[in-house]
Amino acid sequence: MQPCVDMTLLDDILAQYPHEEQSLIQVLQDVQRAYNYLPCEVLEKVASELKVPLAKVFSVSTFYKAFSLNPQGKVIIKVCTGTACHIRGATQIIDEVERRLGIKPGETTEDLGFTLHTVNCVGACAMAPVVIVGDKYVGAAKASDMHKYLTVAKGGDNEN
């Protein structure tokens, strides 16, 4: 069976590193960046090219939070659910994002546009509630403003 992912991206990544176990994390970081997740067939080839047991590749892939075995959306939305953010309305923000995108925390929209995650305190409690849309921190976030952030993140106009 042919793989569904573009394996040439992996070839370009592997060409940059010695084919040995010490390269594993760097290769996985580049794979995560290139594919936006760690596709199974890519991990199999990484294991064979770096001569690392597949079980070890999966073990590393699941250990670090920066890696995902499932396709992630182009825009990752992280809603802080730490105490300060929870008290100031994080639940309403999550409800609003769920309603607008039709996904629950940990899920990705079918068009791979967005992934929603909840996270623990991100160290910005004074700005609570905090939402991170892509790489942008939004402080004092309001559920009623989420449509604006989602629209801007998607690259559209800032509509109501």
Residues in contact with ligand FES by the rule CB under 6 A: 80, 82-85, 121-122, 124-125, 128, 130
28 vs 90, which CB is nearer to ligand FES?
Answer: 90
34 vs 124, which CB is nearer to ligand FES?
Answer: 124
**Would residue 134 be called left, alpha or beta, if left means φ above 0 and alpha means ψ between -120 and 50 degrees?**
left
Provide φ and ψ at 23, rounded to 5°.
Answer: -85, -5
80 vs 146, which CB is nearer to ligand FES?
Answer: 80
- Closest by Cα among 34, 23, 33 to 57: 23
Min dist CB 148 to ligand FES, Å, is 20
Min dist CB 119 to ligand FES, Å, is 8
130: how many CB neighbours lie within 10 A of its CB?
A: 27
Min dist CB 65 to ligand FES, Å, is 17
Q: Which CA distances in Å does 115 have to 14, 94, 110, 157?
A: 28, 12, 10, 20
112 vs 122, which CB is nearer to ligand FES?
Answer: 122
Min dist CB 89 to ligand FES, Å, is 11
Instruction: Report d(CA 63, CA 76) in Å as an integer.
Output: 19
